[in-house]
Amino acid sequence: MSLGLGVLGCGSVFAGPYRGMIDRLQAPGRVHVSAVFDVDDRKRCGAAAQYGVDPELGSATNVIEHEDVEVVLVLTSMNEHGPLAAQALAAGKHVLVEKPMATSLEQARELVELARRGPGLLVCAPHIFLSPTFRAVHASVRAGSVGRLLTARARYGWAGPWWGEWFYEPGGGSLFDLGIYNVTSLCGLFGPARRVTALVGVAVPERTVNGRTMPVEADDNAQVLIDFGDARFASVTTGFTMQKYRSPAIEVYGSEGTIQLLGDDWAPEGWELWRNEDASWRVHPESDPHWQWTEGLRHLVDCIETGRAPITRPEHAYHALEIVLAAQAAGSDGVARSIASDFPDPVYDRAWEDAESDRFAHDRRSHDGL
């Protein structure tokens, strides 16, 4: 009953993070890699050799249509995400697609439609909703711990990649690569956005990538404001312009208190809660320091095995994409944009909790490493 995986894109996202997750799922026989493709011969052959599969598949289509592939992982460069995910869903396969799910709203809308009709499930990165820490913050907020949400800040940035020219080329940029995490998290807590404005630009005109100097043609610096309606706002600070920080990843201010996620939303380091009625901060240490941001794959496998719907819905990824595109537009002309789409609140159901407790049972590390 092992699920066959087809991998599209064998670059760095595959080679490190996803391979680790695949290996962990393969050990107990839940998955196996059936087919791989990358336009780069070296990467394709390397991945094929690791898994003992055909190194000579000539196209992504060969992977998608492979009879032993039930799940397609779309880990290619960003502009191919939408078309490949659509093709795989149309072929009846389950799909995990890295962020962004597509680079245009038309493509993204098609994916949402295909996923609705089924039979394939669609899981879109980022998978931050699946971290126990985000889950705890979400549950606390929904339980009213801080009252009505009024304002918020989020930040995710770093010095920027020294590999991968595409990050700095048209179609790349920090908003798509980094900002989308904060946008996804904030909407997960506040609900759908209604309006967006932003400052977006290139703050460092030249970068050294893979040892060579290149001009920067995609945004490397962005500040985004999101209006969640009823004068409730949030800001997102992102960019390849931040060397180091020491501040919460997400700060949410409500009418009765404040709640914060520490670390980064893709790598949480606990959370903390101020309630006026407590008159103290409750500081929760990270409950799962080994949580990986590739957990979406395990979640997809869980859902396929059990027949339940994923926690994260394609509609949420669509909404986040609309916000990022609106921020780019507002950044170019200084005019705020309305946001039209909507998405359902995540439902952490009983099945998810069972899968989680099962995961903890296997991953458990007692004190002192024993």
Residues 21-80 that bind a second copy (CB under 8 A): none
What is the total count of residues that contact a second copy (CB under 8 A)? 76
155 strand-pairing partners? 237
Peptide linkage before 289 cis (omega within 30 of 0): no
Contacts of a second copy in 280-319 (CB under 8 A): 280-285, 292-294
Residue at token pair 């394939």:
120
Q: Which SS3 state, helix, strand or coil, does residue 280 take?
A: strand
Identify which range of 71-79, 206-214, 252-260, 341-349 contacts a second copy by CB under 8 A: 252-260
The dihedral through the CA atoms of 125, 129, 134, 140 has a sign that is: positive
Identify which range of 29-37, 113-121, 207-215, 218-226 contacts a second copy by CB under 8 A: 218-226
Rule CB under 8 A: choose which of 54, 272, 288, 356 binds a second copy.
272
- Non-local (6+) Cβ contacts of 308 within 8 A are 302, 349, 351
Q: Which is nearer to a second copy, 167 or 352 (CB)?
A: 167
Cα separation, 22 vs 31, in Å, equals 7
- Cβ neighbours around 298 below 10 Å, total: 20
Contacts of a second copy in 324-363 (CB under 8 A): 330, 334-336
DSSP 249: S
Residue at token pair 């126990």:
132
212 strand-pairing partners? 209
Shortest Cβ 223–a second copy spacing (Å): 5
Cα separation, 174 vs 80, in Å, equals 18
Q: Which is nearer to a second copy, 57 or 234 (CB)?
A: 234
Contacts of a second copy in 223-242 (CB under 8 A): 223, 225, 227, 230-235, 237, 239, 241-242
Rule CB under 8 A: choose which of 257, 296, 310, 314 binds a second copy.
257
* x/- track of binding to a second copy for residues 166-205 (CB under 8 A): -----------------------------x-xxx-xxxx-
Q: Which is nearer to a second copy, 38 or 251 (CB)?
A: 251
The answer to whether the beta carbons of residues 223 and 199 sit under 8 Å apart is yes
Shortest Cβ 258–a second copy spacing (Å): 5
Cα separation, 9 vs 18, in Å, equals 11
Q: Which is nearer to a second copy, 55 or 161 (CB)?
A: 161
- Measured CA distances, 196 to 233, 235, 327 (Å): 10, 10, 6
Q: Which SS3 state, helix, strand or coil, does residue 208 take?
A: strand
Rule CB under 8 A: choose which of 59, 104, 210, 255 binds a second copy.
255
Cα separation, 38 vs 24, in Å, equals 23
Q: Which is nearer to a second copy, 91 or 204 (CB)?
A: 204
Of how many residues is the chain composed? 370
Identify which range of 22-30, 44-52, 143-151, 310-318 contacts a second copy by CB under 8 A: 143-151
Q: Which is nearer to a second copy, 162 or 305 (CB)?
A: 162
Q: Which is nearer to a second copy, 88 or 218 (CB)?
A: 218
Shortest Cβ 97–a second copy spacing (Å): 17
Nearest to 112 by CA among 338, 319, 326: 319
Rule CB under 8 A: choose which of 37, 134, 176, 266 binds a second copy.
266
Rule CB under 8 A: choose which of 4, 46, 83, 161 binds a second copy.
161
Shortest Cβ 233–a second copy spacing (Å): 5
Alpha helices in 170-276 (DSSP H): 174, 180-190
